[in-house]
Amino acid sequence: MTAKLFCFIFSICVLFATNGISQSATQNTAMTPEDSLNILLANYIVPENFFVRKTIYTWTTPEQIEELRKSPVLLTRSRSATKGLSEFDQALQDTAFSKFPMAKLLSREKFAKKRFAWANPWATVRGWKGETYGDQLIKITLKDDAIVGQFDENNKQQPFSFYDMHDKPLDTAYVRKNSEKIAAIYHLSTKPGPRSVKQYRYRGSYSGSYARIHRKSSNRTVSSAPFREYVILNESEIQDWEYGTQGIKTEITTELNMLTRLLKQCKTHHIKVKRYILEEHSETNFYNSNSDFWDRYFESICFANNYYLLNKHNLKAIIKNLEKCLKAQGQPVSH
């Protein structure tokens, strides 16, 4: 066999081998429906330590939209006409937190008028038991120099912290000196609401270096549920807001497509989450899963009550509500 013929045959063999490897690699790395759904859900998650958002959404009523058409001031109310002070304001006045300088700062008159929002519209569209937030969606964009705080009622020692729009922590002295830049507070709390849980208790019996762990569980419904929210409290740090625009409608449509795919996965894999989890009295508020897209779903929700448990019934209700809201959007207005 001549050298040229050998090289030709070797080249052909390498070509076929490379194609085979390429096809095999492509098959092995092909994206599954679960993978693509994970990517979609990643757009909506609000992780515990990465919550600063430039864009947030708030639901409101047709009456308030008409008010905005007459006057573009977004923050006009310091309390509800029917429910009084918000959970946020009541917490600031609670003796457990009122002693903190930042609670006193946020209680000043300049931060009295507020709106409540979340990072994605679908996660609040069903509201709370006995509460609805309206079917008109407003998109709010904060300024680049805005300060976003955190008020965590579960942290009794250090409930307040503040960050710039790049998630950089800010010290108290800077925040107090630049308090006019505080735009919003990421608030974590609990309040009465329907919430079914499975509680695990661990008991151990020991023998030498080995332990036998007994895991017992019980189902019950608790009267309070964790929730998260953004409290917008400074009109001057809002870059712009919009209602009824094509961008708003596109956002709702995109979320509907994601939720429809999630519903399909729930049907395919027979997913039916019936309750949240309590382990050793430590609440996994927004995590309750053994699958990536379950995790991401619970990292996206605002309310850990029964309305947002991951199952077909709830997803259908969320989709139905969101479809009605899409049709209800009126003529655009922005500022």
- Which residues lie closer than 8 Å to 297 by C-beta, 6 or more apart? 41, 262, 289, 310
State the amino acid at position 219 in one-letter form. N
Token pair belonging to 257: 């497509």
Domain membership of residue 218 (yes or no) is no
Domain membership of residue 156 (yes or no) is yes
What percentage of the chain has pLDDT greater than the value 90? 60
Domain membership of residue 41 (yes or no) is no
Number of structural domains found in the chain:
1
Question: What is the mean predicted confidence (pLDDT) over 246-259?
Answer: 97
Domain membership of residue 263 (yes or no) is yes
For 69, phi then psi, to 5°, come to -65, -30
Domain membership of residue 153 (yes or no) is yes
What Rg value do the Cα atoms of the chain yield, rounded?
Answer: 25
Which has more confidence, 27 or 184?
184
Domain membership of residue 66 (yes or no) is yes
Question: What is the mean predicted confidence (pLDDT) over 170-192?
Answer: 95
Question: What is the mean predicted confidence (pLDDT) over 108-121?
Answer: 97
Helix axis angle, 292-300 to 246-268, nearest 10°: 140
User: How wide is the angle at C-alpha 198 spanned by C-alphas 196 and 202, nearest 5°?
Assistant: 155
Query: Is pTM beyond 0.85 here?
Result: no
The phi-psi region of residue 167 (left if phi > 0; otherwise alpha if psi is between -120 and 50; otherwise beta) is left
Q: What is the pLDDT of residue 205?
A: 46
Residues in the chain, how many? 335
Q: What is the pLDDT of residue 129?
A: 79
Domain membership of residue 7 (yes or no) is no
Token pair belonging to 206: 């020991």
pLDDT band at 192 (very low <50, low <70, confident <90, very high): confident
Domain membership of residue 215 (yes or no) is no
Token pair belonging to 104: 């006193």
Q: What is the pLDDT of residue 201?
A: 57
Report whether 100 contacts 158 (CB < 8 A): no
Is pLDDT above 80 for 15? no
Report which of 36, 43, 38 is spatially closest to residue 292, judged by C-alpha positions: 38
The stretches of the chain forming alpha helices (DSSP H) are: 3-28, 33-41, 62-70, 87-93, 101-106, 172-177, 246-268, 292-300, 312-328
Give the bridge partners for 60, in sequence order: 136
DSSP one-letter string for 111-130: G---EEEBSSGGGGTT-BTT
Q: What's the CA gap between 136 and 326, in Å, rounded? A: 9
Domain that holds residue 253: 46-191+227-276+306-334
The stretches of 149-291 forming alpha helices (DSSP H) are: 172-177, 246-268
Q: Say whether 82 sits in a helix, a strand or coil.
A: coil
Is pLDDT above 50 for 14? no
